Amino acid sequence: MNQEKIVYQRNDKNLQVENNRAKKLIQRLNRANIDDEKSRIGIILELFGKTGKDCKIEDNFHCDIGSNIEVGKNFYGGYNLVISDIAKVTIGDNCMIAPNVGIYTAGHSISPKNRNKYGYAKPISIGDNVWIGGNCTILPGVLIGDNSVIAAGSVVTKNVAPNIVVAGNPAKKIKDIEIGKE
């Protein structure tokens, strides 16, 4: 995956058009009847760049562009999921994301000069069979390996290897996952 930093201008007209498109679709999604799964799935298909079969997102979802998000089959996004997708966000098959998770591709300079005019974004990639616990934050440019678990409340600032559990702020490895064991 290309992890190259993308620099963007906050008042870019094309970015504003894409963001307004996403806002309208998000508004429809968040107001859609919870029992009307067909409509909700249709809105997600229109909003996201790519979706696999059986994609479910709970209420109060937000993103920047939408078309920069690709999710695999059997995706579940909990309540209050925020995906800042100025750069591409790729999420594999069989992933579960608990409530109140933020996945942020965008950042800004720590220098105050022009901080409010320009930003940067780095893609995020989340592998297959990943479980992200509640209240986690995933920062720009992170790659999370297959089968990994991000413990609740973690702040992921660096890549996560496959088949491990990470926890904390910043998130650090706390154990290996033995594939095939309960």
Catalytic residues: 108
CB-CB neighbours of 74 under 10 Å = 17
Q: Where are the beta strands (DSSP E) in the chain?
A: 6-9, 50-51, 55-57, 62-63, 69-71, 75-77, 82-84, 89-91, 96-97, 102-104, 106-107, 118-121, 124-126, 131-132, 137-138, 143-144, 149-150, 155-156, 164-167, 172-176
CA 75 to chain centre: 11
SS3 23: helix
